[in-house]
């Protein structure tokens, strides 16, 4: 009897069912171990770094980016590690003291040396892009512009980083790279999601960029990209002199035409009264220059919002459109479509006035009340804000509403498609990240190969295999278990 049982026990190990279960069990364990090793292979978290200086008309900012070296072609991997605002004005303000243009950058570059690991300094590219302030200086005084750029180049070459160039970028580049930045940070490229348009308002220029189904009528307004295997046909336009600082000069110059000594300004608060020299205000090719720059005029605030809007409308030419549709100043623009990110001064101004989530009508009502508030009350409500900035928020916000509604033809219905943003995923919205991604070829035209498994896929497979092992263990115990699992008396 015992021999029979022994034979039976031996033959059960050799039965096809047994072999099958054993095979499945081993295969599941091997697969589980392999995937666990492959998926979690210790990627040496080597990081790479990049530095971009945004030399704007009003100030320069230094942005330091980092990304995992292994994944530089995956979208959304680059993040802003640090930023530094250069003290003082933009580099174009050093036209008469060019060496200071380069010197002004030193403090922030020293900070960058601390942010980027020393061992990586030599491999870290540094780029400087100058925008509208230098475009204007280059128009006014090419020699001074070249000397300013040479000065910043000397400073950057003297850093331990891999200097990759300092140049004045075009308005079209500024618009297109801002669009790349906001869509890269929103991960819209990899997932081929609908993109968001980019609205950038600086001190001396402003850009609008968005994907348009309507073909642009001039090369100046169109840019085509192929990113991650998808083609994007962009409409873009940059309006020089329509940054908020320059457009203020334009508006004031219009008003001074009537009386060259007293400027009754509906965009400034009641009680605001400041003597200014013509030269201090009208010092750029954007606004007409007066022949007696030292002469002074009195700038008096009236705080009348409707009149403010009308005076601002005078800086635009809304007629004479020879295309199917225009924004202003005879510039072709297709109908705005989709979501938009509005950043830089759009955000600084609308955020200061708490208007970032208001509807268009609510913004108008709120602004009308704010602008009519007396200057003394405004100053007492914001004791820490410099008078120069504080005095201009009524004008700037009214300009923003006029630019977006009357200029770009946004409506009360699609106003909420405009998101006033400062950062996306902790990186500033602006042209610098897109500029670096483009120059370092980190946005491939074709989608990179997908990894063996996404994290979600990995977990699913692990769960499935674990369940399979448990079931197999249960089955094997059921089939094997009888000789060893049953009690001795049953055997007898």
Q: Residue 473 and residue 470: Cα distance in Å, rounded?
A: 5
Q: Least distance (Å) from Ca ion to the CB of residue 101?
A: 17
Q: Residue 108 and residue 319: Cα distance in Å, rounded?
A: 46
- 90 part of the interface to ligand CTP, by CB under 6 A: yes
- 446 as an active site residue: the answer is no
Catalytically annotated residue among 3, 174, 425, 446: 174
Query: 205 among the known binding-site residues?
Result: yes
For the chain, give the number of residues.
Answer: 492
Q: Give the contact letters, 38-77, x = binds to Ca ion (CB under 5 A), - = no.
A: ------------------x---------------------
- 90 part of the interface to Ca ion, by CB under 5 A: no
Q: Residue 289 and residue 294: Cα distance in Å, rounded?
A: 12
- 171 part of the interface to ligand CTP, by CB under 6 A: no
Q: Which of 23, 389, 464, 479 binds ligand CTP (CB under 6 A)?
A: 389
Which residue, 197 or 202, has its beta carbon nearer to Ca ion?
202
Structure tokens at 66: 């980092």
Stretch that binds ligand CTP, among 7-15, 56-64, 109-117, 284-292 (CB under 6 A): 56-64
Which residue, 189 or 399, has its beta carbon nearer to ligand CTP?
399
Binding-site partner at residue 304 among Ca ion, ligand CTP, none, CB < 5 to 8 Å by type: none
Give the position of tokens 């180049």: 153
**Restricting to residues 118-137, which ones interact with ligand CTP according to CB under 6 A?**
131-133
- The two beta strands, 60-68 and 47-55, are antiparallel
Neighbours of 426 (CB within 10 A): 9
Nearest to 344 by CA among 396, 309, 405, 408: 396
E runs forming strands in 283-376: 296-301, 340-344
Nearest to 82 by CA among 426, 347, 440: 426
- 203 part of the interface to ligand CTP, by CB under 6 A: yes
Query: 206 among the known binding-site residues?
Result: yes
Q: How many residues bind ligand CTP (CB under 6 A)?
A: 19
Stretch that binds ligand CTP, among 57-65, 181-189, 221-229, 451-459 (CB under 6 A): 57-65
Cα separation values, 166 from 66, 117, 129, 160, 190, Å = 20, 23, 6, 16, 30
Q: Residue 427 and residue 83: Cα distance in Å, rounded?
A: 9
**Restricting to residues 161-200, which ones interact with Ca ion according to CB under 5 A?**
none
- 318 part of the interface to ligand CTP, by CB under 6 A: no
Structure tokens at 296: 């002074």
Catalytic residue IDs: 174
Residue set of the binding site for ATP: 203-207
Binding site for Ca ion (CB under 5 A): 56, 202
């Amino acid at each position: 009897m015992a021999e029979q049982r022994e034979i039976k026990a031996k033959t059960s190990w050799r039965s096809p069912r047994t072999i099958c279960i054993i095979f499945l069990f081993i295969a599941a364990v091997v697969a589980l171990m392999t995937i666990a090793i492959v998926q979690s292979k210790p990627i040496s978290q080597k990081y790479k770094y990049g530095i971009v200086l945004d030399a704007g008309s009003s100030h320069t900012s230094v942005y330091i980016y980092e990304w995992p070296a292994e994944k530089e072609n995956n979208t959304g991997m680059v993040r802003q590690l640090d930023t530094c605002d250069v003290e003082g004005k933009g580099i174009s303000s050093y036209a008469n003291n060019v060496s200071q243009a380069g010197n002004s950058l030193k403090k922030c570059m020293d900070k960058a040396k601390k942010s980027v690991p020393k061992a990586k300094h030599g491999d870290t590219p540094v780029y400087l892009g100058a925008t509208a302030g230098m475009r204007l200086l280059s128009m006014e005084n090419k020699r001074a512009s070249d000397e300013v750029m040479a000065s910043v180049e000397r400073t950057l070459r003297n850093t331990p980083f891999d200097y990759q160039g300092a140049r004045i970028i075009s308005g079209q580049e500024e618009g297109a790279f801002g669009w790349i930045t906001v869509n890269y940070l929103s991960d819209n490229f990899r997932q081929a999601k609908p993109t968001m348009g980019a609205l950038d308002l600086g001190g001396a220029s402003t850009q609008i960029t968005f994907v348009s189904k309507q073909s642009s009528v001039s090369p100046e307004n169109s840019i085509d990209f192929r990113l991650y295997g998808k083609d994007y046909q962009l409409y873009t336009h940059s309006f020089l002199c329509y940054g908020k600082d320059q457009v203020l000069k334009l508006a004031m110059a219009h008003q001074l035409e009537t009386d060259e000594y007293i400027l009754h300004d509906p965009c400034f608060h009641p009680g605001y009264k400041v003597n200014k020299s013509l030269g201090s205000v009208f010092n750029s090719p954007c606004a007409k220059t007066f022949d007696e720059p030292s002469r002074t005029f009195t700038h008096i605030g009236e705080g009348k919002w409707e009149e403010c809007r009308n005076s601002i409308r005078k800086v635009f030419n809304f007629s004479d459109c020879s295309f199917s549709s225009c924004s202003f100043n005879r510039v072709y623009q297709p109908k705005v479509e989709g979501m938009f990110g509005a950043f830089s001064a759009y955000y600084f101004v609308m955020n200061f006035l708490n208007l970032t989530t208001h509807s268009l009508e609510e913004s108008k009502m709120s602004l009308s009340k704010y602008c009519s508030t007396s200057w003394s009350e405004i100053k007492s409500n914001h004791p820490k804000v410099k008078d120069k900035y504080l005095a201009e928020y009524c004008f700037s916000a009214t300009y923003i509403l006029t630019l977006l509604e009357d200029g770009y033809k946004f409506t009360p219905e699609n106003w909420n498609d405009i998101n006033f943003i400062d950062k996306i995923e902790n990186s500033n919205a602006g042209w610098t990240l897109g500029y670096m991604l483009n120059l370092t070829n980190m946005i491939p035209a074709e989608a990179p190969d997908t990894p063996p498994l996404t994290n979600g896929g990995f977990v699913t497979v692990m769960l499935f295999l674990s369940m399979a092992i448990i079931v197999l263990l249960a089955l094997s115990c059921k089939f094997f278990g009888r000789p060893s699992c049953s009690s001795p008396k049953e055997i007898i």
